[in-house]
Amino acid sequence: MIKNAKQLQSSIRILNQVNKEIEQINNDKNLLIDKEIYLIPLFTQKNTLEDQIIEYQFLTNSNFKESIDNLLNKPFLLDNIGELLAKIRIASKLSQTEMANRLGWEQSNLSRFESENYSSQTISKIVEYASALGVWLHVRPSITEQIDFSPINHEKKLEYQINISDVNTNSFTNSELGQGLLSDCHDSEPFLNVFA
């Protein structure tokens, strides 16, 4: 991920070098082995760099709302929260130094906080950072890493099945709720539907 103008210039320079290498390999008539062995990793690097450059330029050149809307359409794992917050900072047109000053942090701490490899951010620090940018972060739990970003239907009821034979019947039946729920169950139906 590109986080500042210096990294952008470095990425553009590397992209130009990669493009030259690709051109040299394609033009080399003496290359006896399969060119794809050399080209596939170069094209992978080229695509990654181009994506990062385009994203950084979009974040820096678009208005804040447009940038944030674009970010919300992409899933982010909690492990990558530093990257998401860095993108929101960039969309806010703040440098790391300006953001560190806004938070009262050292710039090196902010840089470490935004690092993709720095995974020990506390919830309170994440909230402090997001609040300084004027944004709210919401977590959408998922049992898989494939996230469904369809609109949430708040009217939808969730249905769970509880196997009655797995319930500790002594403590469950002694409660008022347990007695009412169990009285509605039939012996032929070992599952209880619970709606939230």
Give me the DSSP letters along 54-102.
HHHHHHHHS-HHHHHHHHHTS---GGGHHHHHHHHHHHTT--HHHHHHH
The answer as to whether 20 is a domain residue is yes
The answer as to whether 54 is a domain residue is yes
The answer as to whether 50 is a domain residue is yes
- One-letter amino acid at 29 equals K
Please name which of 174, 89, 156 lies closest in space to residue 128, comparing C-alpha atoms. 89
The answer as to whether 145 is a domain residue is no
Question: Is residue 16 located within the same domain as residue 45?
Answer: yes
Question: Is residue 113 located within the same domain as residue 164?
Answer: no
On the question of pLDDT at 127 being above 50, the answer is: yes
Question: Is residue 70 located within the same domain as residue 126?
Answer: yes
Confidence (pLDDT) at 187: 44
The dihedral sign for the CA sequence 178, 183, 184, 190: positive
Please enumerate in sequence order all residues whose Cβ is within 8 A of that of 95, keeping only pairs 6 or more positions apart, or say none: 4
The answer as to whether 76 is a domain residue is yes
Residue where one domain finishes, among candidates 61, 81, 97? 61
Confidence (pLDDT) at 116: 58
Confidence (pLDDT) at 83: 86
The answer as to whether 149 is a domain residue is no
pTM of the model: 0.65
How many structural domains compose the chain?
3
- 44-98 pLDDT, tens digit per residue, is 999 999 999 999 999 999 998 888 888 877 777 777 788 888 999 999 999 999 9
Residue where one domain finishes, among candidates 40, 61, 82? 61
The answer as to whether 147 is a domain residue is no
Give the residue numbers spanning the domain of 36. Answer: 5-61
The answer as to whether 28 is a domain residue is yes
Of 50-54, 130-134, 180-184, least confident by mean pLDDT is 180-184
Q: Comparing 97 with 34, which gets the higher pLDDT?
A: 97
Provide mean pLDDT across the span 114-118. Answer: 66
